[in-house]
Amino acid sequence: MRPSLTQVCSKYKAWKLNGLHAFVAVLFTAGYAVREAGAFYYIYNKHDERSLIFYITNQVLIYIGPPLSELGNYHILGRVFAYIPWLSPFAPEKVFTIFGSLMGLVEGLNGLGVAFTSNPTGNKQEIGKILVLASLGVQLCVIISFFALATLLYVRYRKANIANKAISTVLNTLYMSMSLILIRSIYRVVEHAGNTSMDLGNEHELQSLSPIMRYEWYFYVFEATTMLLNSILWNVFHPGRFLPTDKSFLSEDGVTEMIFPKDLTHQRLSLTQLGRFIMQILTFGLWSQIFPNRPPNPPGALDGASFQSNV
């Protein structure tokens, strides 16, 4: 089910709009494949590092997915802001940059935290626990900020009496997606807030672990199921079905779409543009701040924008 997100992105030609969710689907597929392979090496042996390698690899792949899903949701929210800029509570072009930077911090904390908590023995486990909790704390703050921005936009949208089901559908889908990620994040906070310190060679100490750590069904219900539902959600309500992938935006009458000049929106993607887009993803949006793009057209070049009815 997860890899079909790539097919949906291709169908609607919406890789730039929702490509992050497709990438997350690939990460989860790889993570659970490694987890399945590691099931054959579930007993830790200090003379055989394969069990530890499988464990660390699947943990990293599974942990880095949800923050990227959050970033993907923010990217889609930014496109909604750009589609109705006169109602936007936040500059659309800043959404990916600001929250991408926060997600970069989260991924760094996640990577270090998982590496330390996977240590067989020693005090590094406690350091890892603190790092993971810090990353989850940032994630929760980002989710709360998302709900605040999306709700403010929704209130303005309702007050404007716009009869546009596409906007409400995308916003409702974003609400559901972020709610699923919130459930997953709360589960992870509860998991790491309990007793997580362990010596893999001490059976008595392992039995004193938090039940959430000892029983795998918690993981399958609150991690695997929520992320699977999130993937299915974006397969069914893909934003490419509802939002234009070009730079068009809705005028204040709520019906007419304004289309930018063809030479700006319908030109072929150059290698430079492709490179900038890739670097934006790899640097979580920081690339455009360090190396801002200088448009070849003067500020008034968009005055000749054309219009089309969106009925």
Q: Is there a domain that residue 50 lies in?
A: no
Which of 216, 245, 274 lies at the terminal end of a domain, its last residue?
A: 245
Same domain, 208 and 161: yes
3-state secondary structure of 269: coil
- 105 has pLDDT over 90: no
pLDDT category at 3 given cuts 50, 70, 90 is very low
* Mean pLDDT confidence for 16-35: 86
Q: Mean per-residue pLDDT for 11-33?
A: 80
Is 281 found in the same domain as 183?
A: no
Do 210 and 275 sit in the same domain of this protein?
Answer: no
The span from the CA of 275 to the CA of 74, in Å, is 22
Residue showing tokens 């716009």: 162
Same domain, 153 and 74: yes
Does the pLDDT at position 83 exceed 80?
Answer: yes
- The number of distinct structural domains making up the chain is 2
Q: Is residue 81 located within the same domain as residue 179?
A: yes
**Tokens read off for 46:** 């200090």
311 against 249, higher pLDDT: 249
Which of 292, 224, 281, 287 shows the shortest CA–CA distance to 107?
Answer: 281
**Domain identity same for 154 and 227:** yes
**34 domain-assigned:** no
Residue 250 within any structural domain of the chain: no
Residue 28 placed within a domain: no
Q: Which residues, listed in sequence order, are joined to residue 48 by a DSSP beta bridge?
A: 45
What is d(CA 56, CA 194) in angstroms, rounded to the nearest whole number?
Answer: 20
Give whole-number Cα distances, 266 to 29, 234, 245, 260, 270, in Å: 34, 26, 11, 9, 12
Task: Report the range of poorest mean pLDDT among 41-55, 82-96, 266-280.
Answer: 266-280
- Cβ(202)–Cβ(141) below 8 Å: no
Strand, helix or coil for residue 258: strand
Contact 72, 15 (CB under 8 A): no
**Predicted model pTM:** 0.77
What SS3 class is residue 162?
Answer: coil
Indicate whether 97 and 215 sit together in one domain: yes
Output the pLDDT for position 58: 87
Instruction: Residue 45: name the closest of 36, 37, 54 by CA.
Output: 54
Q: Nearest to residue 249, comparing CAs of 18, 82, 12?
A: 82
Residues 217, 273, single domain; the answer is no
Q: Looking at the structure, tell me whether residues 170 and 74 fall in a common domain.
A: yes
Domain boundary among 245, 278, 293: 245
Mean pLDDT of the chain: 76
Band of pLDDT at residue 204, cut at 50, 70 and 90: low
- 79, 223: one domain: yes
User: Is the same domain home to 305 and 194?
Assistant: no
Residues 167, 83: contact at Cβ < 8 Å? yes
Domain extent at residue 190: 63-245
